[in-house]
Amino acid sequence: MTFVSAHFGPIAVDETSIVDFPEGLPGFEERHRFLPLQNCPANGLVFLQSLDQPDLCFLALPVPALRPEYELSMTAEDLALLELPPERMPSIGEEVVALAIVSLAEGEDPTVNLRSPLVIHMGTRRAVQAIRPDEVYGCREPWVALRGEAVCS
């Protein structure tokens, strides 16, 4: 299938790459299907292009690239949406991918949302924006990139 993005133009979509947010995202509850796009995997940036709204695209970064010590904290409801067992937290990088949405505002330093990461179950491609039940991280944490990352040109 080919999808025409307002930001990237025509994109060949592999159906197995589509990520499904069964409940949408807060503020975008009617938007369920997203396609992760990486122009340069070495720098970690991921564009989450909505397949339901051509002009909706989120910029995100893998949580471990921002905070290597980060541990997920998810509600039983979020685990159930991802079809994961409720008795333990999934492992980032093994069972799930965790992405932090980047916020870019003119005149401000970039921030990332570590309070509510996007968690994608690798096996089912189901995803949820998992709002942490604790306050260990905020939704506007400073974007502090790890040193020594490769850069694509």
pLDDT tens across the length of the chain (153 residues): 999 999 999 999 999 999 999 999 999 999 999 999 987 655 689 999 999 999 999 999 999 999 999 999 999 999 999 999 988 899 999 999 999 999 998 998 999 999 999 999 999 999 999 999 899 999 999 986 544 444 444
> Long-range contact list for 37-45, CB < 8 A, 24+ apart?
37/8, 37/11, 39/152, 40/151, 40/152, 42/149, 42/150, 42/151, 42/152, 43/149, 43/150, 43/151, 43/152, 44/149
Go through the domains of the chain in sequence order and give each one's CATH number: 2-142 (2.30.290.10)
Buried b vs exposed e over 51-76: b needs ≥16 C-beta within 10 Å? beeeebbbbbbbbbbbeeebebbbee
Q: Output the pLDDT for position 50.
A: 97
Q: Output the pLDDT for position 149.
A: 47
DSSP 4-73: EETTTEEEE--GGG-EE-TT-BTTBTT--EEEEE-S-GGG--EEEEESS-TT-EEEEEEHHHH-TT----
Q: Output the pLDDT for position 38.
A: 87
